[in-house]
Amino acid sequence: MRSDTVTKGKQQAPHRSLFHALGLTKEEMERPLVGIVSSYNEIVPGHMNLDKIVDAVKQGVAMAGGTPIVFPAIAVCDGIAMGHIGMKYSLVTRDLIADSTEAMALAHQFDALVMVPNCDKNVPGLLMAAARINVPTIFVSGGPMLAGHVKGEKRSLSSMFEAVGANAAGTMSDEDLCEFENKVCPTCGSCSGMYTANSMNCLTEVLGMGLGGNGTIPAVYSARIRLAKQAGMKVMELLEKNIRPRDIMTEKAVLNALTVDMALGCSTNSMLHLPAIAHEIGMDFEIDFANGISEKTPNLCHLAPAGPTYMEDLNEAGGVYAVMAELNKKNLLYTDCMTVTGKTVGENIEGALNRNPEVIRPIDNPYTPTGGLAVLKGNLAPDGSVVKRSAVVEEMLVHEGPARVFDCEEDAIDAIKGGKIVAGDVVVIRYEGPKGGPGMREMLNPTSAIAGMGLGSSVALITDGRFSGASRGASIGHVSPEAAVGGPIALVEEGDRIRIDIPGLKLELDVSEEELSKRREKWTPREPKVTTGYLARYASMVTSGNRGAILEIPKNR
Complete DSSP assignment for 481-514? S-GGGT-GGGG--TT-EEEEETTTTEEEE-S-HH
Counting beta carbons within 10 angstroms of the beta carbon of residue 41, is it exposed (0 to 12), middle (13 to 18) or buried (19 or more)? middle
The CA distance from 63 to 140, in Å, is 17
- Known active-site residue 471: no
C-alpha dist (Å) from residue 176 to 150, 173, 182, 191, 196: 9, 5, 10, 21, 27
Quick check: helix, strand or coil at residue 287?
A: coil
Q: Which of 268, 277, 295, 485 is nearest to 371 (CA)?
A: 295
Catalytic residue among 294, 468, 471, 544: 468
d(CA 183, CA 61): 37
Residues 252 and 499: their CA atoms lie apart, in Å, by 35
480: three-class secondary structure by DSSP:
strand
Give burial (CB, 10 Å; 0-12/13-18/19+) of 517: exposed
250: Cα separation from own chain's centroid: 19
Helix (H) or strand (E) holding 535: helix 533-541
**Letter for the amino acid at 208?**
G
Residues acting as catalytic residues: 468
